């Protein structure tokens, strides 16, 4: 599956910066580098340089000097892509990096597709698919916990246990197939009893990995948090307070927020995908009604509901409608405007909200209650602790689905063993479990899925 075309892309952000980098990879990477590079001492044959060396000189376009650069040479197979790779480190800035890239493309490379360097690293066997996905997760990490989980995955925290289970399953499949082919010399007497114990062990390991997924995915993607309440109770003020700036318009006029506002924020190290919604109330205004309908839809998709109630205003039918949206969701009640005289008490709310919902007395005006909110979110999702050590944490929904598929196939194997069915029955299910686990590593996936995964990468990576 080796790629032969030479590709190039800007590997740093397109902005004014101290350093810009253009990466070139492929069979002709060094030849392309030779066409655009002139060293300070006049020698410019990059083939003469050793691998993993860096050299000072200039990038030229014909007789025109474009920039003073440092150029790195990394020869196959000891590079990120396992191909010859050249990296041009130039002065940062949009114009100069674009001009150098244009010169490189004129000299024999083609523009790289998003994630194509990492895709080549995967196709050329340098990394498996879990490690490739960890590269993008590392870039997109929104908090220190997601960063650590991605780094662990890049070091094999997911692939290593998966490989061990697959190796053990493959050994049993090989034994069964051999016994079926040569029953005179290979006996299966007592074999099912021993296989049951192994299947139970593999199932337990799959269940253990699956159990980490819900928190792991939340850890990486952020807790989908929807702010609900009647108009003018302090929802937009809460969003502004969480974000740390005036993202939402706040007025005394009810119904100011008519559409959803979304922000990613960090609350004491926890990532929240916060969605501020229109105040829920009965209205004849067509536009506001659309906003209310969207708020209801967002509540249905939420991981966490933050219900904001105005403690200075009696509860009414609009509050009752909000209560009906809670269902089995996790939630926190913010009894707001506690700086004013209260007419709504925590005891009144307790009769209407799930017992699992903590109630926090807040004042957005005085910025009171935010520390308790942070602690309550931790309690609801992480049992008060968020720790990422060297243990495996599943942070990818694709991995979770494959593990569930493998686990279900192992259940079928156990059932066949308990029913004393012929060996070829559970051999098929063992193969299915083996294939499902292989899809996590990229060994049992189609080209379409690979293209979809790498299309989500940033350019130049």
* Residue-range domain boundaries for the chain: 7-125, 132-212+393-442, 220-382
Smallest CA-to-CA distance from 75 within 49, 39, 37 is with: 49
User: What pTM does this model have?
Assistant: 0.76
- The dihedral sign for the CA sequence 234, 239, 242, 246: negative
Q: Which two tokens stand for residue 6?
A: 């030479």
Q: What is the pLDDT of residue 251?
A: 43
Q: How many CB atoms lie within 10 A of CB 257?
A: 24
CB distance 88 to 100 below 8 Å: yes
Are β-strands 223-228 and 270-276 bridged in parallel, bridged antiparallel, or unpaired?
parallel
Q: What is the pLDDT of residue 439?
A: 94
Are β-strands 304-310 and 223-228 bridged in parallel, bridged antiparallel, or unpaired?
parallel
d(CA 14, CA 75): 27
d(CA 166, CA 214): 23
d(CA 363, CA 90): 52
Say which CATH architecture domain 220-382 belongs to.
3-Layer(aba) Sandwich (3.40)
pLDDT along the chain (461 residues), means of 10: 80 87 96 93 81 94 93 95 96 93 96 93 92 87 79 90 95 89 80 92 95 81 84 82 61 47 77 80 64 79 86 85 84 87 84 87 85 84 55 87 96 92 87 95 85 83 83
Q: Which two tokens stand for residue 360?
A: 């926090």
Are β-strands 304-310 and 64-74 bridged in parallel, bridged antiparallel, or unpaired?
unpaired
Q: Which two tokens stand for residue 9?
A: 């892309």
- The dihedral sign for the CA sequence 30, 33, 35, 38: negative
Give backbone dihedrals phi and psi of 74, rounded to 5 degrees, phi first.
-130, 115
CB distance 298 to 269 below 8 Å: no
Partner residues linked to 363 by β-bridges: 368
Q: Which two tokens stand for residue 280?
A: 């829920």
Tell me how far CA of residue 278 lies from CA of 250, 256, 294, in angstroms: 12, 8, 8
Cis previous bond, 46, omega within 30: no
Smallest CA-to-CA distance from 76 within 28, 43, 32 is with: 28
CATH of domain 7-125: 3.30.1360.120
d(CA 340, CA 312): 6
Burial class (CB in 10 A: 0-12, 13-18, 19+), 374: middle
Element (H, E) at 56: strand 53-61
Q: Which two tokens stand for residue 388?
A: 């990422």
Q: Which two tokens stand for residue 399?
A: 């991995």
Separation of first and last alpha carbons in the chain = 19
Give backbone dihedrals phi and psi of 310, rounded to 5 degrees, phi first.
-90, 110
Element (H, E) at 172: helix 159-181
The angle formed by the CA atoms of residues 416, 420 and 423, to the nearest 5 degrees, is 70
Smallest CA-to-CA distance from 26 within 74, 98, 88 is with: 74
Tell me how far CA of residue 38 lies from CA of 34, 41, 74, 88, in angstroms: 8, 8, 18, 12
CATH of domain 132-212+393-442: 1.20.120.430
SS3 (DSSP) at 432: helix
Letter string b/e over residues 173-195, b meaning 16 or more CB atoms within 10 A of that residue's CB? bebbeebeeeeeeeeeeebbeeb
Q: What is the pLDDT of residue 354?
A: 86
Smallest CA-to-CA distance from 334 within 224, 235, 225, 222 is with: 235
- The dihedral sign for the CA sequence 183, 185, 190, 193: negative
Q: What is the pLDDT of residue 166?
A: 95
């Amino acid at each position: 599956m080796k790629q032969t075309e030479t590709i190039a892309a800007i590997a740093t952000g397109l902005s004014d910066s101290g350093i810009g980098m253009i990466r070139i990879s492929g069979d002709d990477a060094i030849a392309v580098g030779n066409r655009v590079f002139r060293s300070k001492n006049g020698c410019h044959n990059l083939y003469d340089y050793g691998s993993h060396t860096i050299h000072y000189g200039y990038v030229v376009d014909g007789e025109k000097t474009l920039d003073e650069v440092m150029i790195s040479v990394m020869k196959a197979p000891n590079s990120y892509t396992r191909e010859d790779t050249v990296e041009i480190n130039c002065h940062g800035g949009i114009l100069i990096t674009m001009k150098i890239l244009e010169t490189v493309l004129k000299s024999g490379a083609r523009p790289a597709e998003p994630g194509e360097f990492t895709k080549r690293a995967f196709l050329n066997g340098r990394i498996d698919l879990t490690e490739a996905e960890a590269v993008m997760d590392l870039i997109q990490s929104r908090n220190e916990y997601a960063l650590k989980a991605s780094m662990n995955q890049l070091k094999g925290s997911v692939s290593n246990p998966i490989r061990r289970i697959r190796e053990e399953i493959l050994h049993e499949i090989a034994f069964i197939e051999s016994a079926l082919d040569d029953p005179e010399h290979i006996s299966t007497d007592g074999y099912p009893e021993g296989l049951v114990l192994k299947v139970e062990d593999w199932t337990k390991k799959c269940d253990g990995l699956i159990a980490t997924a819900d928190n792991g995915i939340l850890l990486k993607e952020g807790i989908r948090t929807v702010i609900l309440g009647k108009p003018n109770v302090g929802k937009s003020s809460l969003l502004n307070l969480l974000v740390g700036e005036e993202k939402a318009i706040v007025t005394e006029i009810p119904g100011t927020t008519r559409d959803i506002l979304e922000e990613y924020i960090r609350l004491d190290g926890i990532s929240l995908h916060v969605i501020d919604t229109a105040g829920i109330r009965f209205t004849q205004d067509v536009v506001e009604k659309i906003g209310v309908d969207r708020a209801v839809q967002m509540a249905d998709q939420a991981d966490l509901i933050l219900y904001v109630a105005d403690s200075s205003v009696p509860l009414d039918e609009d509050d009752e409608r909000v209560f009906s949206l809670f269902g089995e969701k996790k939630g926190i009640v913010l009894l707001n405007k506690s700086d004013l005289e209260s007419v709504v008490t925590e005891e009144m709310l307790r009769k209407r909200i799930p017992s699992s919902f903590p109630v926090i007395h807040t004042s957005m005006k005085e910025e009171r209650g935010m520390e308790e909110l942070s602690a309550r979110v931790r309690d609801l999702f992480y049992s008060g602790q968020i720790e990422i050590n060297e243990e495996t944490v599943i942070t990818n929904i694709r991995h979770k689905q494959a593990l569930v598929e493998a686990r279900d196939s192992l259940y079928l194997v156990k059932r066949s063993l308990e029913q004393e069915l012929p060996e070829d029955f559970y051999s098929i299910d063992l193969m299915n479990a083996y294939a499902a686990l292989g899809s996590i590593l990229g060994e049992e996936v189609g080209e379409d899925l690979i293209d979809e995964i790498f299309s989500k990468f940033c350019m130049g990576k």
